[in-house]
Amino acid sequence: MSNGLDMKPPGPRENAVVTGAASGIGAAVARRLWQRGANVFMIDRDVDGLRSVSSNADAHGGMVGIFQADVTDGEKIEGIFAEISRHGGVDSVVHCAGVARIGTVAEMDEATFDFVLNVNLKGTFLLAKHAMPFLVNRKGSFTAIASDAGTQGASGYAAYCASKHGVVGLIRSMALDHGPQGVRCNTICPGFVQTPMLDQLFADNPSDRAYYEKTVPLGRFARPEDVAELAAFISSPAGAYLNGAVIALDGGSTAGYFSSAATPG
Ligand code: NAD
């Protein structure tokens, strides 16, 4: 017969860290995770964006915390993880912060190349480095949002493409290094996603938008929520055997050659 004294205290609540959470994919991931009851710690350099996203938090019993930081600032990131760990540890990181700049190697200056590599690749390294001791403690999950430009070339996106290939390689190595410690490391490679980043990329060439949308067999770009759903799955118990995966989330655009003219209907 059970009485109050037999009852176990509730287990610790899931602590999730989401970078790039002030906008687009990161904001959708934060929303998805707080809807499942996680404590969500949001990191971004854009503090107004963080405030605006978190002000709509209908947290299901969890808490939502915001931290303004540039992901290239290792010391700051280290301090943030130390602070988050005081709330019980870190179960998952979904690293979404990133930048895109257009240009071939001939067009792009060195500073722009360094900037893109620093934010996208070194930023992933710094997040992973400072999260890892806490993820090892909780046998957690690290998911990076790379891109379809991390598994294939993209004309006019030399630095972006190089940085995202780097992210895929880094995560695969992390899966081998830290899988034996119980930490799962995975990469999502979206095609085009309807976010402010996409609007900015197509601002000068709106006709490109319609052109690229026709190259997607499913006939539309992804929504941030499509990416958030997969990120939430990976960090949940349902994703427990996923490690080192590089998951295309692109409506089929990297599956092979595609002619929109051949589409039925
Ligand atoms: P977004 O511009 O809407 O959001 C990116 C967020 O990252 C912003 O809030 C920005 O402030 C933050 N950020 C950028 N640099 C930062 C830094 N140095 N430190 C801290 N925060 C920083 O873009 P998004 O479309 O949501 O992109 C999220 C991720 O998904 C990026 O890594 C991007 O490369 C990747 N991605 C986007 C698309 C797409 O079509 N939108 C496709 C594939 C992959």
Pocket flag, ligand 1, residue 197 (CB < 6 Å)? yes
Structure pTM?
0.94
Ligand 1 center to 112 CA (angstroms)? 16
For 221-236, what is the mean pLDDT?
98
| Inside any domain, residue 201 | yes
What percentage of residues in the chain have a pLDDT greater than 70? 93
For 200-207, what is the mean pLDDT?
87
User: Residue 152 in 3-state DSSP?
Assistant: coil
Q: 6 versus 240: which is more confidently predicted?
A: 240
Q: What positions carry a catalytic annotation? A: 160
pLDDT at 238: 97
| Inside any domain, residue 74 | yes
For 180-208, what is the mean pLDDT?
94
The number of the ligand 1 atom at minimal distance from the alpha carbon of 119 is 18
pLDDT at 200: 92
pLDDT tens digits, one per residue of 139-188: 999 999 999 999 999 999 999 999 999 999 999 999 999 999 999 999 99
Ligand 1 center to 254 CA (angstroms)? 21
Ligand 1 center to 105 CA (angstroms)? 22
Q: How many structural domains comprise the chain?
A: 1
Pocket flag, ligand 1, residue 213 (CB < 6 Å)? no
Pocket flag, ligand 1, residue 92 (CB < 6 Å)? no
| Inside any domain, residue 264 | no
Q: How confident is the model at residue 260 (pLDDT cuts 50, 70, 90)?
A: confident
| Inside any domain, residue 76 | yes
pLDDT at 259: 86
For a ligand 1 pocket test, name from 70, 143, 197 the mutation site with the most ligand atoms within 8 angstroms of its C-beta: 197
Pocket flag, ligand 1, residue 147 (CB < 6 Å)? yes
| Inside any domain, residue 122 | yes
Least confident of 39-48, 80-89, 111-120, 140-149: 80-89
Q: Is residue 2 over pLDDT 80? A: no
Listed residue (93, 110, 91, 92) closest to 101, CA to CA: 110
| Inside any domain, residue 110 | yes
Which domain, by its residues, includes 209?
15-252
> Sheet harboring 39-44: ordered strands across?
64-68, 39-44, 15-19, 92-95, 141-145, 184-190, 246-249
Rounded to the nearest integer, the mean pLDDT of the chain is 92
CATH number of the domain encompassing residue 214: 3.40.50.720
Ligand 1 center to 263 CA (angstroms)? 32
Helix (H) and strand (E) counts in the chain = 9, 7
Burial pattern 188-215, b for ≥16 Cβ within 10 A else e, equals: bbbbbbbbebbeebbeeeeeebeebeee
